[in-house]
Chain A
Amino acid sequence: MNELLLVVRIAGQRVAIPAVRVESVVELDTLIPVPRAANHIAGLSALRSRVLTVVCCRRSLMLSWKDRTGEVLEAAVTELDGHHYALIVDGVEDVLEALSDPTPVRAAMGEGWERVSTGMVETEEGALLMVDVAALIAGPEATRIAA
């Protein structure tokens, strides 16, 4: 069976996240800011007595982000190294089956996209960009330090 992909919209683009990495899709109501944390860390939220670290995908991609405080934020919950993260996306669209392995994207993408993408996969609805959850969580600064 082929890999299942969760299709989400980030900054208006449809991208795919491996569905196995996503525990659930939630709507965040509380968002407690974390002062002095990296820019893309939007804050903390709670889910069933677990603390979620909320990552803003737009900021992680170094794209503009308008303040949406007070709105309901849709987020994909994922786990990395024992910590739970909520990735804020514009919206969650669908679950699709991957029809191919990821292949490198040869077109020039934005710097942010370049960093988080793991390639392009074919689906019933056309080619989608695969994004790496860990790279989204790490954010632009961590990558720059590591480089």
Chain B
Amino acid sequence: MNNDGQLCFLRLEKHYRERHVLSIGRLTLAPGRIVHLTGRNGAGKTTLLKILAGLEPPDCCDVSLDHRSQPWQAVRQRLRRDMVYLHQHPYMFDDTVTDNLSYGLRVTGVPRARRRRAVAVMLERIGLEHAARRNARTLSGGEQQRLALARAWLLQPRVLLLDEPTANMDSEFRQQTWTLLQEMLNDELAIMVSSHELSKAECPNCLNLHLQDGRLNAGPPSLHLVGQDRSPAQDCLGVIP
């Protein structure tokens, strides 16, 4: 992150064999913002999120943090530490809800007593305290999604990357998820959410980016914040209008 907490990806390129999947000049993620990424199936949304999360290598990419630009490979571990990526269908370990929730804290060496307190508070917050000893795979889809978000939230990441978190959800669950995301958002967290479509009502303050032919564009004007000459989405891309 820069001194203002921004994380900037520069000259990001990705090919799959002959196909040019991503070609992004600049992408900035700033805390306190939810960036909404749209694009059709196969546009490269998942690939982009995984590259940002340090899970999949780009062909080339520089990352600007701590006042200097470094190659993606050099900051890969840092990216993994600062970001949490959630799959479209979150993976639940074959363990109890409590063990799933505490996984990240356990592997990052948080002491047991602190871990227990944090997990207990979070279980209550997401309304799953009654299911604490159940195998996480027996939860409903909506409950698993909440558990996965809480599991990420406990780690207090700088950036949360969500891959189509509301796909295949009914409107009630979609609204619940968006409410939880708004609740999670604070001055130190940036959130990037990908999906096919988004209604303005679900996330009125989202910045919209559209991925097409491997390039990021500011989203449709109808989704920009009203009364601004230059959309925050363009700031995010560093595009001069």
A, B assembled together: no
